[in-house]
Structure 1
């Protein structure tokens, strides 16, 4: 009943708030309408454009409300359009949802129906005023209006103003009547609530009397028949009563238990005593798990909870419940072991390896010294899986793990990073010492073999070694360095050890990259990534709005950083997908609130990194965005670099096919930078080619670059692909590119990057056609 009353009260308050919102909105509407008519009167007298602009600005308020109502009367209602229109109409952002809901579901109720009808009657006069403003502008642009016509306009505007004011007063009166009806409903509901609460209080009093009589009976039955252990203790700790369940848990007869003290049931250290040696009941009764002693001396973990019951002159007694959770502790230890160990080999897993490395790093920073981390990778393991089977591969991994465990000293550890990658930590060992140990491991490994059925499997591995020193940046860098050294060992011919050696300058560079990566991560989390955009001019269509979205970062001191300062670190350390998710989310949020801009937008290019292309979860993220914003799909073009395509061809094709199915377009960025560019076009369904900017930059001085640009332009024409040139920085370059058949131009010669808000909030304008008219098609 309480929940119901609260719900009704909340609904009534919401209705009252909605009524207030409508009254406030009507006030904005009426004031703006009157000011619009007054401004048109002044414009008719003075002919000043400022008066006309003011009239239109004021007229936008009631017209926006009209658009909002029409959006809500569509089937189905367009709530997004209505919300945007209500905001343009000067309504408070917090009231917009109330206006939408109340109009959708209440416009045909009581006085609201009358108000809705009166609102509709204002449409024709408002539209006529708007038409008069356009007509006056046209006539005054040709000279002064004859006095007779001016008087006619004055009379008509006055008539429309009076008509709208009468209708507005009727609308306001209907809203006031609706508000009065809500207040009356509130009073009635309040009175009914008081009566209902009084009835409930009487019934509750009767029920309490009956419950008190039955309580003791239920308690006794529950105490002795419960499946968990229960006991009653006096204030000194002596057991007064116990049930059979506790007797079974502790494997002691009930008759024995009632003559025992609590300290005899608990393991040493579990009984909490105060300064006088008495039981400290407030602390002892805190819920937790205690160790109990069974009759045979074994331990039982029991979940303990108790409460003190004050019985007046009879003193205080303690009622407690004990539940056997011994099995939970066994399972917890197993889960903890599995969380930190690899199931197949029994070695610690990557998570535990990183934890152990963090501890080792803290130790060397505090105490000094040096350790060695070794990254081991089995050679040709994939071939074993494919040729002999995964069972053989698993046997090889287990044998290799056992071999490593037998080769290290006490204090060292071995872990499995995943797949065929392992880590060995040699405490107190320098790089050279670790090299000697691992070379010995490799030699002994070469003498061993594994028999699997009729197949004899030989094991070899490549090893990378890096020192753990006080100046090591962090665990991520440490593991990356070990992995890099292992890769170098594989590149050097496999079955060998390679030590990671970098000079101090390179180490400082790694630290700098780690710091840049940290700043990017914090900027994403704090919302300090900014979107910029650079126009792309379309030859022959100077009014076509096409731009590429770029990203900037504002640091904690407010300084703006270009992508060249952080993109390299982002891509090297696997953070590309996080940045791509951030950029796409910001772009979609921004365009959602700019419907007028989206309506005139031709194409918006946004970059996608190779890391995102290779991750299936990113495609799911993009599909979800496009599903929730279907109108944006046709105006979106994903730019994929050629290197991303070449390194992840299958994933790239899957991504391209998926987004094109939703209406998006695909541009191959930096086209021509790789040797396989032309060959990969046959396997990809691209729409645009963006010529690598280095060719455009050098084409006036380098014949090869000029020929490459000309060939790509010709290829685009042949395959009916739009070709765009980047890094266009001079008029001469632009003219030459157009001559070669390039359809799109992007660079400082066209327009410098600017905040995305500046493009989306300004009117559409041609791309500098005054100076570029010849090559844009305006000459």
Structure 2
């Protein structure tokens, strides 16, 4: 243990304790056994006393019965007869108790009643019963019980004499001869019973004597044995303590970790060679030093009185020690206070040199935050420093500039001269940037040939001047690789770091966008990100909306609405599209147009789609009557979800677990999403159709090139973009587009639905063009899905809407 550097206060030093433990166990067992034997002997003594006392009651009562019966024979006084019978009840009770215990199945209740009748104390009854049952066959006790049985005939005869005397007096005055004969019989019987009682008493006394003798013998032997074991134990303890002290001293001075023994004031009382080597002191010198001489200032913990606060000082941790040459050493420190009765407490401490661990930790930390090729900070550290800078400008104001630098034509260097030359170019360029910036600025490598440059307290105009100078002088800098290497240039994007910036991600994205603009403008130039204040506010508001959507999903504040789709020629067909609304924490209802742009911009579409599908399936599962009547339920799927295989796996799993709902569902995929992700869209459509669902192409016609993709997308339904439908009654071009889409859908055997039907006139024209379904405010406004699933609460159909169709539903 001492060689491992563990806390001595927490782990005991091992030493051979098996023999000592066995002796302790033996001594304890003997003490417990002695107590048990003493208890048993005391019970036996109490039982012996109880028998002697009971025999005394028996003998006294027998004699009293004989005397009273003799008086009754002479006088005929009934009181004497009653006294005789009362006295006789005592030995007869003992007789009855013994007979109850001698049965094959002892009657303990009868025995207790008999012993109580015999005048025995209630506390002795259980002792009498126990000793008779379990000890009645042993030694003198067995002889006493045998003598007791011999009195049974005499007691019965005594009872018979009482009966004969009572009968004799009942006939009148008995003749003297008859009374004398009965008296003689009584006297002879009394002498016989007294002799038997005396023998019974002597036997009980001998039993009691044996019990006392046994008690003395066992007690003496036990005391002797315990004394012997205690002496052996004390000798073993002394020997073990001496051996342990010898081992401890050997371990202390030979341990490979540093060890110190200190007094309460911090003076070094003992020190091993390992601590002397660690601190580069001679051991003799250490013995005259104080703990404060060994620690760096600030490491010694003092209390209010200026003394060392050992409770806090001895907490395990790492402290800085001062070496003899003035160098700093990190030591892992642990210790404990040793308290010995009659002596001042001492402190035992262990010190392990962990300076190398700290050096390795610093190296790992440096590698985690720096690029191994150029030695510049990496993207992780760049983002951390940007976060600090953003917090600083928000708290104290000011402005900084973040510059995104991309080497032009770097791929030509890698491909033409090899990766080694490319790596050397990156190192040279990194050194050039470091040499070109001021104190307080920093340079980092984003990855590849992209670098980040931070200009502290520099606005956009000042940063642009600095960067243009860098761009101009870069060609003359020593970063070339031979005569055949291409000329080095770079494109730079600049964005100001102000308190109005949304976050670090926005800063990085803005700088990247500005750098891309510089490349698009011809490379080897600087471009500043000049997004207007309204645009910045809009970005910030979008971030807030995105956070609101996340919290609404987590807090179940996304609500499902439904808008009915009327099938022309079949008004009883129940068909509707599921729409989503968001309720704010204040209870206000928000339409998709208020939050969907942020959802789509920041890639949260799939999360929202999964949540909406989950809500829809859970709602329909508890409305079996509605599902049975339902013709078709349309639900939208975003482009982000279409492009993500994990979303398709989620949908397929949902459909497999709810096969009864699959044939009632129609997934709406926007035309732009289908065209931009044609392969993924086709995979999604085929997968859901294979499970019984239908597919609609939403907002169809927004891109006229979509006509060429219809044959590659096996959809079931076309939903005409509302832009054409809304104004077709006044715009012939829109009407022609609707007619063309309707005819193509009919040729491809697709159901054609017109959206944004906002007037009766538009609805009538759509019917004339052969559209299959109508959706819009002229048909029905969106209602909560709960109302749609309860037919009795369906709203009445509205006329032409005065409110325009909300773009995204």
State how far apart, in whole Å, the 2-side matches of 1:649 and 1:248 are.
Answer: 73
The Cα shift of 1:595 comes to 5.9
Whole-angstrom distance in 1 between the partners of 2:498 and 2:408:
29
Correspondence 1:602-681 to 2 at 5 A: 603-614=632-643, 636-649=665-678, 652=681, 665-681=694-710
Q: Does 1:716 align with 2:745?
A: yes
Q: 2:434 aligns with which of 405, 426, 435?
A: 405
- In the alignment, which of 415, 418, 424 is matched to residue 444 of structure 2? 415
From 583, 592, 609, the equivalent of 2:612 is 583
State the partner residue of 1:424. Answer: 453
Q: Which residue of 1 aligns with 2:359?
A: 330
Evaluate the alpha carbon distance shift between residue 463 and residue 584 of structure 1 in structure 2; reply closer, same or farther with a 3 A threshold. farther
Query: What does 1:440-519 correspond to in 2, within 5 Å?
Result: 440-445=469-474, 456-519=485-548
Pairing of 1:668-747 with structure 2 (within 5 A): 668-747=697-776
Secondary structure of the structure 2 residue equivalent to 1:237:
coil
- The answer to which of 625-634 and 350-359 deviates more is 625-634
The alignment partner of 1:482 has SS state of helix
Q: Deviations over 1:53-88 (max 9, x none)?
A: xxxxxxxxxxxxxxxxxxxxxxxxxxxxxxxxxxxx
Summarize the Cα distance change of 1:295–1:633 in structure 2 as closer, same or farther, 3 Å threshold. Answer: farther
Unaligned runs of 5+ in 1: 1-208, 773-779
Under a length normalisation based on structure 1, what TM-score does the superposition of the two structures give?
Answer: 0.60
Alignment of 1:126-525 (within 5 A): 233-238=262-267, 261-293=290-322, 298-308=327-337, 310-318=339-347, 320=349, 322=351, 324-379=353-408, 397-445=426-474, 456-525=485-554
1:606 touches 1:637 (CA, 8 Å); kept in 2? yes
Distance 1:709 1:763, change over 3 A: same
How big is the shift at 1:674?
A: 1.9
Structure 1 residue 640 displacement after superposition: 3.3
Residues 436 and 262 (structure 1 numbering): CA distance in 2 closer, same or farther, change over 3 Å? same
Q: Is the 8 A contact 1:449 1:459 kept in 2?
A: no
1:500-521 alpha-carbon deviations (Å, 9 max, x no partner): 3344444444444444344334
Instruction: Give the CA deviation at 1:389.
Output: 7.7
CA-CA distance at 1:426 after TM superposition: 1.9
The DSSP-based 3-state class of the residue aligned with 2:552 is helix
Instruction: Determine if contact 2:425/2:481 at 8 Å carries over to the other structure.
Output: no
What is the aligned counterpart of 1:533 among 562, 569, 583?
Answer: 562
Residue 563 (structure 1) shift: 1.3
- Contact 1:449-1:458 within 8 A present in 2 as well: no
More divergent stretch after superposition (384-393 vs 214-223): 214-223
Alpha-carbon separation, structure 1, partners of 2:272 and 2:692: 71
Q: Using the alignment, how far apart are the partners of 1:598 and 1:299 within structure 2?
A: 78
Matched, 1:562 2:625: no
Contact between 1:361 and 1:469, CA under 8 Å: does it hold in 2?
yes
- CA–CA distance in 2 between the matches of 1:660 and 1:218? 83
| Superposed displacement of residue 693, structure 1 | 1.3
Secondary structure in structure 1 of the residue aligned to 2:752: strand
Maintained 8 Å contact 1:750/1:767: no
- 538-547 vs 381-390, greater mean Cα deviation: 381-390
- 2: CA distance between counterparts of 1:503 and 1:239? 71
Measure, in 1, the Cα distance between the counterparts of 2:627 and 2:566: 18
Instruction: Name the CA distance, whole Å, in 2 between partners of 1:517 and 1:720.
Output: 40
Q: CA deviation at 1:272?
A: 0.9
What is the Cα deviation at residue 705 of structure 1? 1.9
Once the two structures are superposed, what CA deviation does each residue of 1:723-763 show, in whole Å capped at 9, x if it has no partner? 33221223443444344444443222333222233334x25
- Deviation of the 1:383 alpha carbon: 7.6
Higher deviation after alignment, 274-283 or 501-510: 501-510
Q: Give CA deviations for 1:315-356 in whole Å, capped at 9, x if unaligned.
A: 544455555544443343334334433445443334433333
Q: TM-score, normalised by structure 2?
A: 0.58
User: Is the contact made by 2:467 and 2:526 (CA closer than 8 Å) also made in structure 1?
Assistant: yes
CA contact (8 A) 1:430 1:467 kept: yes
Distance change (3 Å), C-alpha of 1:557 and 1:250? same
What CA distance in whole angstroms lies between the structure 1 residues aligned with 2:244 and 2:620?
Answer: 65
Of the candidates 752, 756, 774, which is equivalent to residue 781 of structure 2? 752
SS of the counterpart of 2:702? coil
1:693-743 alpha-carbon deviations (Å, 9 max, x no partner): 111212222222222223223333333444332212234434443444444
Q: Distance in 2 between matches of 1:473 and 1:500?
A: 14
> Which deviates further from its counterpart, 278-287 or 391-400?
391-400
In the TM superposition, residue 401 of structure 1 has moved relative to its aligned partner by 3.7
Tell me the CA shift for residue 484 of structure 1. 3.6
8 Å CA contact 1:543–1:765 kept in 2: the answer is no
Q: 1:488 to 1:289 in 2, by over 3 A?
A: same
Relative distance call for 1:282 and 1:497 in structure 2 (3 A) is same
Shift of residue 280, structure 1, vs aligned partner: 0.8
Which secondary structure does the structure 1 equivalent of 2:485 belong to? Answer: strand
Distance in 2 of aligned mates of 1:429 and 1:340: 25
Distance verdict in 2 for CA 1:747–1:332, change over 3 Å: farther
* 2:195 equivalent in structure 1: none
Relative to structure 1, is the Cα distance of residues 453 and 540 closer, same or farther in structure 2, using a 3 angstrom cutoff? farther
Encode CA deviations 1:292-329: one digit per residue, 9 max, x unaligned. 34566554433434444554544544455555544443
Q: Contact (CA 8 Å) 2:273, 2:283: kept in 1 or not? A: yes
Q: Measured at CA, do residues 280 and 439 of structure 1 come closer, stay the same or move farther in structure 2, by a change above 3 Å? A: same
Q: Which has the larger radius of gyration?
A: 2
Q: Is the 8 A contact 1:691 1:725 kept in 2?
A: yes
- More divergent stretch after superposition (284-293 vs 310-319): 310-319
Distance 2:679 2:430 in 1: 34
Q: How far 1:281 moved relative to its partner?
A: 1.6
Return the offset for 1:444. Answer: 3.4
Counterpart contact for 1:466–1:499, Cα < 8 Å: yes
Aligned positions, number: 561
Aligned to 1:550: 579
**Compared with structure 1, are the counterparts of its residues 295 and 559 closer, same or farther at alpha carbon in structure 2 (3 Å cutoff)?**
same
